[in-house]
Chain A
Amino acid sequence: MLRNVLLALAVLALLSCSRQAAPTSTQLSPAATPPANPELVLATTTSTQDSGLLDVLIPMFEKQTGYRVKPIAVGSGQAMAMGERGEADVLLAHAPDSEVKFMAGGHGVDRKLVMHNDFVLVGPGGDPAGIAGLTVAKEAFTKIAGSKSLFVSRGDNSGTDQWEKKLWREAGITAKGQPWYLETGQGMGLTLNVASEKAAYTMTDRGTYLAMRQHLHLDILTEGDKSLLNVYHIIVVNPNKSDRINHAGAQALSAFMVSPGAQQVIGEFGIAKFGQPLFFPDAGKPE
């Protein structure tokens, strides 16, 4: 009897606390005409989140439209897996090969070029593999493998990770499984920390590196290769994936990301703090 009463109380408490959430969530969207379904799940890359770019863009979008975005920072691999299941409404990814497959598989309905930045190879100042100043990524990878210098990989199937794996493949090197090749399975920030502590090489997007530079014992050694371009697309998930998808919201965010206002913010982001932009707006440009 006592148990039943207390169980009932517990259920009531759980219900009441989930009810409390509803009003607070609507208070956050002050737009004049709030959309019917204001909640929007954006699966995004860790690099856009860690650099702070989304902290600027998303409030801007929310203010303009009244949507409330839940940015879930995961690797591009997981972002697309979420899209395939209809667990996210819209994706911001930087893994072009997987994205093309994603679109071909009918998982997305609209894919737009948003911006790019670039990858750089960073490593210890001593540079045991001698890759400093190289401008061809393939050569740098060959030298790292040849000298068996420690290399730390994300190993998390993110956009950066997929790109790095592709460069190893193109250099004709099987890095995976080698004793000098470490995989963290973590985001870029953590991987940079590991590389720094182990005096190892790693490939990173420039933005995350610049944001963390002051704590790292790593220098940019190889940069400027065309094969190191890091391109971001926004993908609207196929609304047929789930009847709970917020398709209108996804389209609104997609349109916002390529709008002149957002593109200007993207181009100026980071200049004040790092003296150089972290991203370059690309909306409307050919691939």
Chain B
Amino acid sequence: MDLVWDGIAQAFWLLVRGDRETYQVILRSTQVSGMATVLSVLVGVPLGTLLGLSRFPGRNVLIALVNMGMGLPPVVVGLLVVITLWRSGPLGGLHMLYTPQAMIAAQFVLAFPLVTAFTLASVQQLNPKLRTQILALGASRWQMLLLLLREARLPLLAAVMAGFGAVISEVGASLMVGGNIRGLTNVLTTDIVSATGRGDFARAIALGIILLALVYAASLAITTIQQRTRPS
């Protein structure tokens, strides 16, 4: 238990003293996972809306794929992204392996099925009559879509949160495609792994506490928005 207290004390000191490396790692974690989440929202929300509102043959097959995507094992995604980005791989020419961009790509693959599935669920839980009603009031298809998404905004926030929460705490894929290079691709989770490997448990626990605090802060921010904009 003394290690945990050491860790808490060290986390406090790392933050208060303004340890540059620690702040860089926090910033990188947030940037990489934030960007991955933004991209997943840009792809997942339209995709989820489309799947939720339209009916076409093979729709169930696609939805099943999305649902499977929610449980994608990060190490498998990491492995596939690594092989793709290898010099000898199909996208080797991009020179993206062992960069934050590669980590964003891997985390995007992990997050967008989550966002898509949550969007799908939140669009489907809207009253189907709402759609006909909006159209009957003379709205264009665009206006209808925006209105529907507006109605579904609270569950959509949950989609964002789920995506961000999944990727910021993910380690397998980030370690493989980023390589945990100090000062370039080490994020909170990969740093925790390497600090543990080095036997630097206090630092590992300190970073773990910071990671928890970060996830909590993000979740608090979203909860606050949710509670404030709750439709009466």
Asked whether A192 lies within 8 Å of B47 as measured between CB atoms, the reply is no
Please name all residues of chain A whose beta carbon is closer than 8 Å to the beta carbon of B39 when the two chains form the complex: 10, 13-14
Asked whether A212 lies within 8 Å of B199 as measured between CB atoms, the reply is yes
Please name all residues of chain B whose beta carbon is closer than 8 Å to the beta carbon of A245 when the two chains form the complex: 87
A50 in contact with B101 given A2-B46, A87-B87, A87-B88 (CB within 8 Å): no
How near does chain A come to B152, taking the closest CB pair, in angstroms? 15
Instruction: Say yes or no: is A72 at the interface (Cβ < 8 Å to chain B).
Output: yes
A18 in contact with B199 given A72-B179, A87-B86, A87-B87 (CB within 8 Å): no
Instruction: Say yes or no: is B98 at the interface (Cβ < 8 Å to chain A).
Output: yes
Residue from B88, B100, B180, B201 within 8 A of A73 (CB atoms): B180
> In whole angstroms, what is the CA distance A266 to B19 when docked?
27
Residue from A13, A85, A211 within 8 A of B198 (CB atoms): A211
20 A-B Cβ contacts within 8 A?
A: A7-B43, A14-B39, A14-B105, A17-B35, A17-B101, A18-B101, A39-B95, A49-B194, A50-B197, A70-B179, A71-B179, A73-B179, A85-B86, A186-B197, A187-B197, A189-B198, A190-B196, A190-B197, A216-B199, A244-B93
Asked whether B181 lies within 8 Å of A3 as measured between CB atoms, the reply is no
Asked whether B92 lies within 8 Å of A244 as measured between CB atoms, the reply is yes
Interface residues of A in 192-209 (CB under 8 A from B): 192-193
Please name all residues of chain A whose beta carbon is closer than 8 Å to the beta carbon of B199 when the two chains form the complex: 189, 192-193, 211-212, 214-216
Asked whether A6 lies within 8 Å of B46 as measured between CB atoms, the reply is yes
Interface residues of B in 92-106 (CB under 8 A from A): 92-96, 98-101, 104-105
Residues of B within 8 A of A (CB): 35, 38-39, 42-43, 45-47, 50, 86-88, 92-96, 98-101, 104-105, 142, 145, 179-182, 184, 194, 196-199, 201
Instruction: Say yes or no: is A160 at the interface (Cβ < 8 Å to chain B).
Output: no
A242 in contact with B88 given A2-B46, A2-B145, A7-B46 (CB within 8 Å): yes
> In whole angstroms, what is the CA distance A161 to B119 when docked?
48
Instruction: Say yes or no: is A124 at the interface (Cβ < 8 Å to chain B).
Output: no
Asked whether B197 lies within 8 Å of A189 as measured between CB atoms, the reply is yes
Please name all residues of chain B whose beta carbon is closer than 8 Å to the beta carbon of A14 when the two chains form the complex: 39, 104-105
Instruction: Say yes or no: is A32 at the interface (Cβ < 8 Å to chain B).
Output: no
Please name all residues of chain A whose beta carbon is closer than 8 Å to the beta carbon of B38 when the two chains form the complex: 13
Residue from A3, A17, A21, A215 within 8 A of B50 (CB atoms): A3
Asked whether B47 lies within 8 Å of A3 as measured between CB atoms, the reply is yes
How near does chain A come to B140, taking the closest CB pair, in angstroms? 11
> In whole angstroms, what is the CA distance A211 to B98 when docked?
27
Please report whether the interface of chain A is mostly helix, strand, loop or mixed according to DSSP: helix
Q: Pick the 10 closest A-B CB pairs, nearest first.
A: A212-B199, A189-B197, A10-B42, A244-B87, A3-B46, A6-B46, A72-B179, A18-B101, A242-B87, A215-B199
Please report whether the interface of chain B is mostly helix, strand, loop or mixed according to DSSP: helix
Instruction: Say yes or no: is A9 at the interface (Cβ < 8 Å to chain B).
Output: yes
Please name all residues of chain A whose beta carbon is closer than 8 Å to the beta carbon of B198 when the two chains form the complex: 50, 189, 211-212
Interface size on A, residues (CB 8 A): 40
> In whole angstroms, what is the CA distance A209 to B133 when docked?
71
Interface residues of A in 70-97 (CB under 8 A from B): 70-73, 85-87
> In whole angstroms, what is the CA distance A2 to B45 when docked?
11
Q: Across the two chains, which residue of chain A brings its CB closest to B142?
A: A2
> In whole angstroms, what is the CA distance A182 to B57 when docked?
52
Please name all residues of chain A whose beta carbon is closer than 8 Å to the beta carbon of B43 when the two chains form the complex: 6-7, 10
Residue from B42, B87, B105 within 8 A of A9 (CB atoms): B42
How near does chain B come to A87, taking the closest CB pair, in angstroms? 5
> In whole angstroms, what is the CA distance A70 to B88 when docked?
18
Q: Across the two chains, which residue of chain B brings its CB closest to A37?
A: B95
> In whole angstroms, what is the CA distance A85 to B182 when docked?
24
Q: Across the two chains, which residue of chain B brings its CB closest to A189?
A: B197
Q: Across the two chains, which residue of chain B brings its CB closest to A243?
A: B87
Please name all residues of chain A whose beta carbon is closer than 8 Å to the beta carbon of B142 when the two chains form the complex: 1-2
Q: Mark A1-42, 1 if CB is under 8 A from B, else 0.
A: 111001101100110011001000000000000000001010
> In whole angstroms, what is the CA distance A105 to B143 when docked?
65
> In whole angstroms, what is the CA distance A3 to B52 when docked?
13
Please name all residues of chain B whose beta carbon is closer than 8 Å to the beta carbon of A17 when the two chains form the complex: 35, 101, 104
> In whole angstroms, what is the CA distance A211 to B200 when docked?
9
> In whole angstroms, what is the CA distance A232 to B113 when docked?
45
How near does chain B come to A208, taking the closest CB pair, in angstroms? 8
> In whole angstroms, what is the CA distance A17 to B104 when docked?
10
> In whole angstroms, what is the CA distance A51 to B151 when docked?
55
> In whole angstroms, what is the CA distance A20 to B101 when docked?
10
Name which of B86, B93, B94, B198 has the most chain A CB atoms within 10 A of its CB: B198
Residue from B46, B47, B101, B181 within 8 A of A71 (CB atoms): B181
